[in-house]
């Protein structure tokens, strides 16, 4: 392109005339410039002085203006940064240029409501105050300092995002279309098109009332009311807040300066509660405070109840049937399909072959684990065959899943609500058949266990033909083989098959014909001379009854039945026999135990005791003294066991409890130093801190 050259003077004059609107055809203008001067020419110094004067005057006359580009927009997605396109602007008589698209961050704080984005000296600036010497590109309006952290293009209808108010031409941009800022400002200064407009301040008389033609809006000096088609007030706005009404004029909702409520739910500055809330045992309603303290009448929890501290040394109660075993909750919904997998939260781990149970107030389903993949399990559903294929119950996330053990393992049931309650039961699973498990230990009501058919409170261990049981009416009863491993005692076998002798002199009562045999040596296992020999009159060295059933051999008596008013022995540990059922009589002043040490059962004059293989006491039944009738299982003294207190008629548990469902009555204390108090009779749960201050009270507070 060919370049043309023009004298500086006409260029300056032309620019001045264009910018200040001087008509060059008219005279008298302050800046009417003539060449030369006094017939001479302008030197470079005079020209420089003139240009400086012109620049300073132009800066006062010509305002800041965006000449081209410099459009401002929010980022996608919204952030604290805005994007600015390249462009040219002027301010204070100087031209500034942004040569490339640029992004700039707005430094949000907790106090600034407006940030000014300007261009000056060819650089972008963000300021909290307006500066007329710089060209403003936009303003970023912040609705809520301290909360706002993102910027959008237009003013949002809700929320606290900041928005951009452009400094472009208020009416038209280069596209000849109204921009958002222009529309908003036009809306502020003029009303609806063709409507009457009120300009300036309006001061209403106290008696003035403004009503629209439909009668749905009413404005007076006290409030603004919105009405329905029947002219019932639906909403009212006044200095006390915002109110919403039903058709009868009753307040449904209020939003005020210090509180708000919807119906009977009240929101204050530091709590959410019922409007009629009253604290205490005889109170009502609920309240949740911002301190974390909450008080309820009743609480129903579908999933888990977790707590770092439970109250102890208080009386609590759980009503119902309480199963103690491994348990977890579903981490996602389980469909009704047979192929639906089971996914738990992972608080416990199930094994292949483990029998699971899910139960609510309406459905009950048994399952067997067949594969394990982390917290997800493949299961065989509906082991009880209660549902048609692929129509099993749909179990929701948060539902409890409880284990009833793998084969040869067990679980514990505490029953406080059935016809035979209260009972504490220990079961062992026999196979993977869902209902194949056997009760081996029961404490409490013995009705239905072993041969009990009536309500007897006590303790019982064993099976139909081999047991140890106690109740206050029948006393202590033992059935089955009793093996005493201490001392020099012989063993008496009572069975139909030939036993293997443990030591010379062992006795065997053949239950097929009630004959008595004596072992010659340890290891004898045949009925023959020199091994198990029949004890009869021909072989007896002492006195023998004519029936050939009873034999007195030196210091030993061999017989089927002994009839006597009393039997006295100085060494009870030397007696080894299948005692069968003792229907009468008394054992006084001695100790009976199944072994001298290690795992054993021991009966003395004060208690019935059971020890594990590490000689730890695992069972204690007190039969005399002030605590007679008390039963202790586990290491209760070290907070790892349970206790039935007969005199107090209370059942205590120390240690962790895992339960899927169940109900207790009465009261339950949980934790140390009086932490959690569950009062079933009054339907209340209370939580105390370490100083015994009441912190949480949940339940029926009426």
For the chain, domain boundaries:
8-61, 65-187, 209-262
Of 393-402, 449-458, 553-562, where does mean pLDDT reach its minimum? 553-562
593 vs 376, residue with greater confidence:
376
Angular region, 636: left φ>0, alpha ψ -120 to 50, beta rest:
alpha
663 vs 364, residue with greater confidence:
364
Which of 175, 174, 200 minimizes the C-alpha distance to 189?
A: 200
Give tens-digit pLDDT for 63-118: 788 888 889 999 999 999 999 999 998 887 788 888 899 999 999 999 999 999 99
Which of 279, 284, 285, 247 minimizes the C-alpha distance to 266?
A: 285
In the block, which residue shows the tokens 């009054």?
Answer: 682
Provide the pLDDT for residue 36: 46
d(CA 186, CA 49): 44
Question: Angle formed by the axes of helices 8-20 and 44-61, to 10°?
Answer: 10
Provide the pLDDT for residue 176: 46
Which of 623, 624, 617, 663 minimizes the C-alpha distance to 640?
A: 617
Q: Please state the rounded mean pLDDT for residues 350-372.
A: 92
Give tens-digit pLDDT for 590-610: 677 888 888 888 888 888 888
Q: Dihedrals φ, ψ of 287, to 5°?
A: -155, 135
d(CA 496, CA 578): 13
Provide the pLDDT for residue 51: 72
Which of 228, 247, 249, 225 minimizes the C-alpha distance to 238?
A: 225
pTM of the model: 0.36
- In words, the CATH class of domain 65-187 is mainly beta
Provide the pLDDT for residue 63: 73
Q: How confident is the model at residue 31 (pLDDT cuts 50, 70, 90)?
A: very low
Provide the pLDDT for residue 357: 93
Give tens-digit pLDDT for 506-552: 888 888 888 889 999 989 999 998 999 988 644 433 444 545 556 65
Do the Cβ atoms of 114 and 126 come closer than 8 Å?
no
pLDDT at 21 over 70: no
d(CA 325, CA 402): 7
Q: Please state the rounded mean pLDDT for residues 176-205.
A: 54
DSSP conformational letter for 558: E
Provide the pLDDT for residue 614: 83
Provide the pLDDT for residue 629: 86
Which of 680, 633, 647 minimizes the C-alpha distance to 457?
A: 647
Provide the pLDDT for residue 18: 60
């Amino acid at each position: 392109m060919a370049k043309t050259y023009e004298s500086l003077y006409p260029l300056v004059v032309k620019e001045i005339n264009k910018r200040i609107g001087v008509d060059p055809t008219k005279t008298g203008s302050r800046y009417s410039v003539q060449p030369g001067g006094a017939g001479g020419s302008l030197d470079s110094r005079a020209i420089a002085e003139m240009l400086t004067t012109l620049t300073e005057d132009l800066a006062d006359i010509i305002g800041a203006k965006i000449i081209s580009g410099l459009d401002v927009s929010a980022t996608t997605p919204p952030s604290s940064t805005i994007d600015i396109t390249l462009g040219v602007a002027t301010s204070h008589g100087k031209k500034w240029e942004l040569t490339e698209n640029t992004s700039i961050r707005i430094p949000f704080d907790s106090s600034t409501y407006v940030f000014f984005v300007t261009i000056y000296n060819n650089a972008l600036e963000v300021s909290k105050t307006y500066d007329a010497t710089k060209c403003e590109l936009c303003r970023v309006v912040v609705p809520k300092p301290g909360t706002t952290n993102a910027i959008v293009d237009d003013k949002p209808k809700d929320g606290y995002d900041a928005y951009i108010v452009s400094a472009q031409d208020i009416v038209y941009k280069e596209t000849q279309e109204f921009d958002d800022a222009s529309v908003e400002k036009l809306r502020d200064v003029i009303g609806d098109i063709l409507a009457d407009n009120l300009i300036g301040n309006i001061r209403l008389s106290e008696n003035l009332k403004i009503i629209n033609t439909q009668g749905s809006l009413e404005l007076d000096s006290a409030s603004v009311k919105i009405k329905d088609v029947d002219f019932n007030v639906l909403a009212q706005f006044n200095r006390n807040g915002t109110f919403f009404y039903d058709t009868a004029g009753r307040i449904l909702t209020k939003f005020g300066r210090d509180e708000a409520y919807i119906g009977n739910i009240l929101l204050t500055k530091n709590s959410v509660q019922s409007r009629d809330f009253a604290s205490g045992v005889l109170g009502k309603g609920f309240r949740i405070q911002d301190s974390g303290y909450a008080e309820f009448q009743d609480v129903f929890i579908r999933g888990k109840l977790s707590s770092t501290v439970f109250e102890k040394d208080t009386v609590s109660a759980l009503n119902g049937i309480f199963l103690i075993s491994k348990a977890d909750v579903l981490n996602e919904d389980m469909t009704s399909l047979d192929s639906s997998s089971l996914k738990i939260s992972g608080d416990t781990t199930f094994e292949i072959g483990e029998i699971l149970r899910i139960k609510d107030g309406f459905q009950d389903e048994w399952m067997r684990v067949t594969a394990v993949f982390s917290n997800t399990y493949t299961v065989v559903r509906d082991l009880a065959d209660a549902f048609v294929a692929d129509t099993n119950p749909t179990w929701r996330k948060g539902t409890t899943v409880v284990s009833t053990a793998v084969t040869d393992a067990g679980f514990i049931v505490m029953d406080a609500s059935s016809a035979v309650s209260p009972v504490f039961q220990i079961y062992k699973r026999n196979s993977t058949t869902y209902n194949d498990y056997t009760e081996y230990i029961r404490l409490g009501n013995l009705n239905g266990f072993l041969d009990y058919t009536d309500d007897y409170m006590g303790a019982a261990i064993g099976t139909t033909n081999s047991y140890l049981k106690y109740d206050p009416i029948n006393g202590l009863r033992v059935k089955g083989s009793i093996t005493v491993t201490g001392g020099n005692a012989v063993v008496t076998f009572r069975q139909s098959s030939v036993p293997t002798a443990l030591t010379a002199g062992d006795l065997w009562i053949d239950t097929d014909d009630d004959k008595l045999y004596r072992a010659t040596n340890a290891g004898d296992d045949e009925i023959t001379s020199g091994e198990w020999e029949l004890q009869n009159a021909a072989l007896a060295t002492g006195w023998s009854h004519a029936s050939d059933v009873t034999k007195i051999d030196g210091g030993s008596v061999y017989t089927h039945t002994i009839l006597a008013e009393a039997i006295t022995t100085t060494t009870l540990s030397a007696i080894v026999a299948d005692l069968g059922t003792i229907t009468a009589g008394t054992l006084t002043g001695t100790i009976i135990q199944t072994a001298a040490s290690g795992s054993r059962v021991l009966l003395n004059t004060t208690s019935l005791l059971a020890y594990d293989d590490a000689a730890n006491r695992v069972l204690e039944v007190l039969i005399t003294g002030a605590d007679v009738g008390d039963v202790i299982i586990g290491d209760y003294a070290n907070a790892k066991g349970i206790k039935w207190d007969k005199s107090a008629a209370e059942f205590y548990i120390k240690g962790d409890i895992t339960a899927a469902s169940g109900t207790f009555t009465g009261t339950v204390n949980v934790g140390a130093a009086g932490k959690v108090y569950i009062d079933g009779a009054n339907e209340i749960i209370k939580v105390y801190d370490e100083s015994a201050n009441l912190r949480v009270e949940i339940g029926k507070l009426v």
